[in-house]
Structure 1
């Protein structure tokens, strides 16, 4: 089965649009490689965590920042389809 991505975000912080944008980018880039990308409102304030099959691949609190979309695409690519070219995101 293809892997799934989950983006857990803080709705109180207003991060839904950021999470939706990243979900759209991942679904567009990895349309053949992912089963789903889901958004989950967090009950914990300030949370913005990206999971691949329930394993954390990016945590805003741990990194001290949000992921850049280029960086997130590279992280996902390296785990789901290492041979996939990402065009300008590889530069």
Structure 2
């Protein structure tokens, strides 16, 4: 089981009281907007996959799981990384 993952505040805003689902049901969104929010909501979850890291020592049982990120500019976490890289150049 993955531990230590805390949903990002923007994710909580979209998922509280089924807000995103209600907004989707109302319609009027472009496909690219739906895709961006869907990626952001999946970021840091098992939906995008998990990498498993273990020790090379056969006697060691330590395993670390890391979830994949979405890489979307619309994601607060991934978008900040991209912005920081852009401003550093």
Considering fraction of residues, name the structure with more helix: 2
Taking CA–CA contacts closer than 8 Å with sequence separation of 6 or more, which of the two structures ends up with the larger relative contact order? 1
TM-score (ref. length: structure 2): 0.27
- TM-score normalized by the length of structure 1: 0.26
Q: Which protein has the larger Cα radius of gyration, Structure 1 or Structure 2?
A: 2
